Structure 1
């Protein structure tokens, strides 16, 4: 076991060259390998996705790529984000970062580029958001709401915010276990609070306050294949920036036009927020949200209705855990173990379970977004049964009329809009 623990502390040997050049036709983009001087030693990435996998981080150095008349985001000299992070941006290196730490922060930036209008926070784990929120009350309020969304999954995650981190937010971080925190700046005294956690990676990334300038500019997205080949694509660009960008949910079938109720202003704002978060969630996925915060996030499922069902199950578990922690100061699983031999604990657990069922896992009054269209009405029916009041989805299914009919038949009637684009992420 000691060897296994040592494995996570070891650095993988770095065989990668100091420069990387990408040539597309007549255009070239030169990258330089990013290393940092940590504890008096020059170090690159700790390791890749797993210990023993050598890895390297490269940052644009010179050149640029334009395809189809569009200048891609890969050009050097932009705001300081992950690949531009130097020693002065690494306020505390902790064990210094590996690939997953930085890709979590990067996906946080990917989500936050569409949430620039308000203070926002995203907590990520395994390159998916555990919880996200935006709130005009400030970054600490947003962070607390994001943490409350999934206290369990947040353990060991990365916190990424789009406003200077204040003391209230720092105390939230210090009260839990996180591996990384990234912010555009830190108010006076905040870093001292964060440094109580010696292994916490603290990243000062000023570009997190400038993300809005990226939102319309795709980057060159590369996927390596098992045989060594590559798939190149433009990165996803979210077209929904305001509530007015949603499309009416309408469909025609055999001469009959089906049209859904329009969302209220609050529903539209929550749908706008959730669709922004959706840009960073592995597909197939759905998100339930309410009052500017995620309630449950379903990731990586193969079928749409199954994803909705699993996300509902997650919501019930996370809601129960939140109630248990508030009342008993322990996790849901600790209370379940205690309840086996403790009558008082068993009564408390039963009361909480009844409350969770009554409140439908906190899903009453939520809105739902789906990264792909609903091929059948079953997923919509399942969500409506939990108290969802509004839904946003791409539209384009041959059964759109059935899906619209599902929301129209609900009592009270559920709103629906189309995004006019899919948001798959694989």
Structure 2
């Protein structure tokens, strides 16, 4: 059975999707061309021309299409024009090492990484993704620092993930990347000597996306989003555009309830504002409902895809403690926290090692003390923000607009926590 499963994951599916697609919006027609690559089969070495390896799972045929013709304007919205391809425009030359033939999730992770990265271009940045959600994201003074911080934020989830960088890959960063197992590494360019380091991982997909250095240009552009329904129907929408670009786009939380005005008593400090903006930018690529914690322009915890806001805040806190303890354990003992825990239970390592890590994690509140809290939609009750307050957060960014904003503002003022509103939610499904 195990060998059968391994064979399934090595299989490159045939696809019967057409070479071109034409989608008509009334009299306006968009033309798409299927993207294929001539690359060696990872098993036989034979050069084959093929598109995606498979879809979300083995056994699902899939195809990648690039917009190559047509212009679409609906109302006052001019959608993105042909000639702006990123993930859909990757060629054989850009696929510096194909590794195992790329599948749908490899490229959708890359796409979402680029979507987040377009907001983070001011400084060296790294975003690591898994299953179309960021595991860790960070700015750094150098690219290697940004990668180290993003990886440390959730070392376990980053295993087998997709790394997107916004600066040319340098030797120091390549050496750090090569120590870990990733499926995809994407950068605008690769400096001399870096490919020799990265190619030690034979199955690593190494991709050049030359337009990464122009990602900020994509911030105001909209594209058409399709949601396919199980009955064959479609929901079509404009993609979201984030209205928040800088501190001036955020407002101190304020509301009126039963004739009384409630407002936040303290404005964010400069450091808090940097973290609030960074967190809101990363939030654009996180599946809803979501709550993030950010400290020093690095994610401390990312809670994703829950049905209730207080629940996802609690999950984010749980993850923060686990990931913080794991990072300490790996740096100190070269083991994951779970490996140390098992070794202690078996009597193979002293209990004091685990107790020391547990104590240090509790003291730091999982790295959340002094962090900021980010929510993609309003808090319907104060219980959600109270979760963060108990962990020592100092600031909150959220859209605002709840009937109980007054209650959330009161909770923040009681704790000396500042809060800003974006005036726009960031749902992503």
Q: Could you say what secondary structure the match of 2:280 adopts?
A: helix
Q: Could you tell me how far apart the structure 1 residues matched to 2:280 and 2:9 are?
A: 36
Aligned 1:233-252 pairs, distance under 5 A: 233-252=237-256
Q: CA deviation at 1:27?
A: 0.6
TM-score, structure 1 normalization: 0.98
TM-score, structure 2 normalization: 0.97
Q: Could you tell me how far apart the structure 2 residues matched to 1:230 and 1:19 are?
A: 19
Q: CA deviation at 1:61?
A: 1.3
Q: CA deviation at 1:115?
A: 1.0
Structure 1: tracts of 5 or more residues without a match: none
Instruction: Provide the alpha-carbon RMSD of the alignment.
Output: 0.9
- CA offsets 1:32-71 (integer angstroms, 9 cap, x no match): 0000001221011000000000000000111121112221
The equivalent residue for 1:14 is 15
Q: CA deviation at 1:341?
A: 2.5
1:371 and 2:376 correspond? yes
Alpha carbons 2:12, 2:101 under 8 Å: kept = no
1:77 and 2:83 correspond? yes
The equivalent residue for 1:271 is 276
The equivalent residue for 1:119 is 124
The equivalent residue for 1:256 is 260
Pairing partner for 1:414 from 393, 396, 417: 417
Pairing partner for 1:88 from 82, 85, 93: 93
Name the count of aligned residue pairs.
Answer: 421
Q: Could you say what secondary structure the match of 2:23 adopts?
A: strand
The equivalent residue for 2:56 is 49
Q: Could you say what secondary structure the match of 1:231 adopts?
A: strand
Q: Could you say what secondary structure the match of 2:183 adopts?
A: strand
1:159 and 2:163 correspond? yes
Aligned 1:174-193 pairs, distance under 5 A: 174-193=178-197
Q: Could you tell me how far apart the structure 1 residues matched to 2:244 and 2:76 are?
A: 22
Q: Which aligned segments of 4 or more residues in structure 1 are displaced greater than 4 angstroms?
A: none
The equivalent residue for 1:58 is 65
Q: CA deviation at 1:342?
A: 2.6
Q: CA deviation at 1:353?
A: 0.7
Q: CA deviation at 1:344?
A: 4.2
Q: Could you say what secondary structure the match of 1:387 adopts?
A: coil
Q: Could you say what secondary structure the match of 2:89 adopts?
A: coil
Q: CA deviation at 1:276?
A: 0.4
Q: Could you say what secondary structure the match of 2:380 adopts?
A: coil
- CA offsets 1:374-419 (integer angstroms, 9 cap, x no match): 0000011111000000000000000000000000011xx0000001
Q: Could you tell me how far apart the structure 2 residues matched to 1:351 and 1:163 are?
A: 38
1:347 and 2:348 correspond? no
Q: Could you tell me how far apart the structure 2 residues matched to 1:248 and 1:26 are?
A: 46
Q: Could you tell me how far apart the structure 2 residues matched to 1:70 and 1:375 are?
A: 32
The equivalent residue for 2:301 is 296
Q: Could you tell me how far apart the structure 2 residues matched to 1:345 and 1:200 are?
A: 37
Alpha carbons 1:335, 1:345 under 8 Å: kept = no
Q: Could you tell me how far apart the structure 2 residues matched to 1:72 and 1:314 are?
A: 38
Alpha carbons 1:286, 1:371 under 8 Å: kept = yes
Q: Could you tell me how far apart the structure 2 residues matched to 1:139 and 1:68 are?
A: 42
Q: Could you tell me how far apart the structure 1 residues matched to 2:203 and 2:292 are?
A: 32
Distance 1:9 1:344, change over 3 A: closer
Q: Could you say what secondary structure the match of 2:157 adopts?
A: coil
Alpha carbons 2:343, 2:349 under 8 Å: kept = no
The equivalent residue for 1:425 is 428
Q: Could you say what secondary structure the match of 2:83 adopts?
A: coil
Alpha carbons 2:340, 2:349 under 8 Å: kept = no
Q: Could you tell me how far apart the structure 2 residues matched to 1:327 and 1:163 are?
A: 30
- CA offsets 1:338-364 (integer angstroms, 9 cap, x no match): 101336432100111111111111100
- CA offsets 1:67-115 (integer angstroms, 9 cap, x no match): 1222112x2112x510000101000000120000000000000001111
Alpha carbons 2:138, 2:147 under 8 Å: kept = yes
The equivalent residue for 1:68 is 75
Q: Could you tell me how far apart the structure 1 residues matched to 2:225 and 2:323 are?
A: 34
The equivalent residue for 1:105 is 110
Q: Could you say what secondary structure the match of 2:63 adopts?
A: coil
Structure 2: tracts of 5 or more residues without a match: 41-46
Q: Could you tell me how far apart the structure 1 residues matched to 2:300 and 2:122 are?
A: 21
